């Protein structure tokens, strides 16, 4: 018995012998084996060494997850740059500049200032499908309270005067880094795919108008029209390491409605000489909810929220008017129309009931609902499961939030897919659970993604999808 030292050059990770001990000497792995098993061990080790030299490098060289981990330092640096320098919607000048520079570095033909601060990067790699990847560029007027060393210190003048903090509270900094990382990976592995990649930096997503601005500027005419469009969004409630997707409706139609009720002002002690717009508005606020409970099919999602109501100056003065702001959410287009028409009817009815004149109603159409293409989801689900793991690909919940990524598929007519990438590690999620606190949501001043696992998962999933959609012929 007794043990001998053998140099075989293998790390413990690939050594096949369970009872073998390893230690590092002069940068080489030394194996301590039992003498009786020495020959068999030598054969086994040599076989594994040969396998690892000939087969593994080929399998792993093209593996997105391995690539992401090898390039993590520069990816995190890029993420921190975007995070430290957020810009509001319609003001993404420097963000788009950096985004464009990164695309130029990897050999894309880049067009800037396309539909506002939109960026289009084209990477040609022979004949084949055109696949569009989209990231959004804008931050939010939120003063960051994450306590991160790289927390945003940026402040700008707010719309109503005064300074406001700016923060990537919706994770668009992760989306940009994810897209650029995926593009870097694909640029470095052009032998593994073919076709044309269209890499989009979209402005003003938070205002629901950047996608339309780029489409209206001729995105699908001046460049090749994509066959497929993909995007990610990080998700505050999904653990990092996991993604979530579903076919069909996933996000809602989003519309805003402004209603002004007109009354006749006067003394609060003499209501009979006035027409009270506050009572008029109060009737409307309650009555409009019966749209959802009585007029829309119970299995169809619909939300009407009165988010703001303003009138009056003092206890004993009945004001002349009352102004309300509503957000209206739905999935189906016919439900959307029904809700918007119904709101107008209910507002007129409230005015009529108190003998007031016609209210002023302004509908601002926002983003249309987002439905992922069923066939595309069916195709990519197994691809994601292979690239990540079965347990890491979840079925996404339907939510009533909106995303103007929906515009690309709606207007272009091609299949599209937006999938969620889990943003917060399980430990942190559990800690919130134990404290009985809700997890900070997207748009919260306390929301931050756990950068490294989110980038690993997001880039691995996105790159694997592209490799599947753009196979080498
Ligand atoms: Zn957002
Ligand atoms: Zn967002």
What is the 358 CA–ligand 2 centroid distance (Å)? Answer: 37
Residue among 205, 206, 227, 280 flagged as catalytic: 205
Asked if residue 151 has pLDDT above 80, the reply is yes
Phi, psi of 93 (to 5 degrees): -60, -55
- pLDDT (0 to 100) of residue 42: 55
Give catalytic status of residue 287 as yes or no.
no
- pLDDT (0 to 100) of residue 159: 76
Q: What is the DSSP letter of 191?
A: G
What is the 170 CA–ligand 2 centroid distance (Å)? Answer: 5
Q: Which ligand is nearest to the CA of 202?
A: 2
- pLDDT (0 to 100) of residue 9: 47
Q: Which ligand is nearest to the CA of 444?
A: 1
DSSP string, 337-389: HHHHHHHHHHHHHHHHHTTPPPPEEEEEE-PPPEEE-HHHHHHHHHHHHHHS-
CATH code at 253-365: 3.30.70.360
Q: Which ligand is nearest to the CA of 175?
A: 2
How far are the Cα atoms of 81, 93, 348 from residue 162, in angstroms, in the given order? Answer: 26, 22, 37
What is the 391 CA–ligand 2 centroid distance (Å)? Answer: 25
The residues near 122 (Cβ < 8 Å, ≥ 6 apart) are: 108, 109, 110, 196, 197, 198, 199, 223, 224
Q: What tokens were used for 473?
A: 């012929």
pLDDT band at 166 (very low <50, low <70, confident <90, very high): very high
Q: What is the DSSP letter of 392?
A: G
Phi, psi of 438 (to 5 degrees): -70, 150
Mean of pLDDT values over 462-468: 98
Mean of pLDDT values over 143-161: 93
What is the 443 CA–ligand 1 centroid distance (Å)? Answer: 6
What is the 100 CA–ligand 1 centroid distance (Å)? Answer: 22
- pLDDT (0 to 100) of residue 32: 43
What is the 405 CA–ligand 2 centroid distance (Å)? Answer: 10
What is the 206 CA–ligand 2 centroid distance (Å)? Answer: 7
Could you report the per-residue pLDDT of 16-57, keeping only the tens digit for each? Answer: 444 444 444 444 444 444 344 555 555 554 555 555 445 444
Give catalytic status of residue 446 as yes or no.
no
> Please, what CATH class does the domain formed by 64-252+369-469 belong to?
alpha beta
Q: Which ligand is nearest to the CA of 207?
A: 1
Q: Which ligand is nearest to the CA of 423?
A: 2
Could you report the per-residue pLDDT of 194-207, keeping only the tens digit for each? Answer: 999 999 999 999 99
- pLDDT (0 to 100) of residue 161: 83
- pLDDT (0 to 100) of residue 50: 55
- pLDDT (0 to 100) of residue 307: 95
Mean of pLDDT values over 261-283: 98
Q: How far apart are CA 440 and CA 433, in angstroms?
A: 12
Q: How far apart are CA 412 and CA 308, in angstroms?
A: 35
Q: How far apart are CA 410 and CA 419, in angstroms?
A: 17
DSSP string, 36-94: GGHHHHHHHHHHHHHHHHHTHHHHHHT-HHHHHHHTHHHHHHHHHHHHHS--BTT--HH
What is the 166 CA–ligand 1 centroid distance (Å)? Answer: 13
Q: With pLDDT > 90 as the criterion, what percentage of the chain qualifies? A: 85
Residue among 102, 138, 144, 227 flagged as catalytic: 138
What is the 20 CA–ligand 1 centroid distance (Å)? Answer: 53
Asked if residue 339 has pLDDT above 70, the reply is yes
Phi, psi of 243 (to 5 degrees): -125, 165
All residues with CB under 5 Å from ion ligand 2: 170
Domain borders along the chain are 3-61, 64-252+369-469, 253-365
Could you report the per-residue pLDDT of 354-401, keeping only the tens digit for each? Answer: 999 999 999 998 899 999 999 999 999 999 999 999 999 999 999 999
What is the 172 CA–ligand 2 centroid distance (Å)? Answer: 6
Instruction: Look at residue 468 and give its three-state secondary structure.
Output: helix
All residues with CB under 5 Å from ion ligand 1: 170
Q: How high does pLDDT run on average in the chain?
A: 90
- pLDDT (0 to 100) of residue 43: 54
What is the 203 CA–ligand 2 centroid distance (Å)? Answer: 11
Q: Which ligand is nearest to the CA of 171?
A: 2
């Amino acid at each position: 018995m007794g043990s001998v030292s053998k140099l075989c050059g293998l790390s413990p990770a690939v050594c096949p012998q369970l009872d073998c001990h390893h230690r590092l000497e002069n940068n080489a792995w030394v194996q301590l084996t039992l003498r009786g098993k020495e020959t068999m061990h030598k054969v086994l080790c040599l076989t594994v060494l040969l396998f690892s030299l000939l087969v593994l490098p080929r399998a792993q060289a093209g593996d997105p997850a391995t690539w992401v981990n090898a390039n993590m330092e520069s990816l995190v640096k890029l993420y921190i740059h975007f995070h430290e320098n957020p810009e509001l919607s319609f003001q993404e000048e420097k963000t788009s500049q950096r985004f464009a520079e990164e695309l130029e570095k990897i050999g894309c033909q880049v067009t800037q200032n396309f539909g506002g601060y939109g960026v289009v990067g084209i990477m040609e790699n022979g004949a084949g499908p055109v696949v569009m990847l989209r990231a959004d560029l804008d931050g939010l007027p939120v003063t960051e309270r994450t306590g991160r060393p790289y927390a945003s210190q940026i402040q700008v003048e707010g719309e109503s005067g005064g300074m406001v903090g700016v923060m990537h509270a919706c994770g668009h900094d992760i989306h940009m880094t994810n897209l650029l990382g995926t593009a870097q990976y694909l640029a470095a592995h052009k032998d593994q795919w073919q076709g044309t990649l269209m890499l989009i930096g979209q402005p003003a997503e938070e205002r629901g108008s950047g996608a339309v601005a780029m489409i209206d500027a001729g995105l699908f005419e001046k460049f090749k029209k994509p066959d497929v469009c993909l995007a990610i969004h990080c998700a505050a409630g999904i653990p990092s390491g996991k993604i979530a997707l579903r076919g069909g409706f996933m996000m809602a139609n989003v519309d805003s409605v402004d209603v002004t009720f007109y009354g006749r002002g006067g003394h609060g002690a003499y209501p009979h000489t006035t027409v009270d717009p506050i009572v008029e508005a109060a009737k409307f606020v309650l009555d409009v909810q019966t749209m959802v409970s009585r007029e829309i099919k119970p299995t169809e999602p619909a939300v009407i929220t009165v988010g703001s109501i303003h009138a009056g100056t003092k206890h004993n003065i009945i004001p002349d008017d009352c102004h309300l702001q509503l957000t209206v959410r739905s999935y189906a287009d016919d439900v959307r129309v029904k809700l918007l028409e119904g709101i107008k009817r209910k507002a007129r009815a409230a005015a009529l009931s108190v003998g007031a004149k016609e209210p002023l109603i302004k509908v601002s159409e926002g983003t249309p609902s987002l439905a992922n293409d069923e066939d595309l989801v069916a195709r990519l689900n197994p691809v994601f499961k292979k690239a990540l793991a079965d347990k890491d690909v979840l079925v996404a919940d339907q939510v009533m939030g909106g995303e103007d990524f929906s515009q690309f598929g709606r207007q272009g007519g091609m299949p599209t897919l937006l999938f969620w990438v889990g943003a917060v590690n399980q430990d942190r999620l559990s800690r919130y659970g134990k404290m009985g606190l809700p997890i900070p949501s997207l748009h919260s001043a306390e929301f931050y993604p756990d950068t490294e696992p989110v980038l690993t998962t997001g880039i691995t999933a996105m790159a694997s999808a592209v490799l599947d959609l753009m196979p080498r012929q």
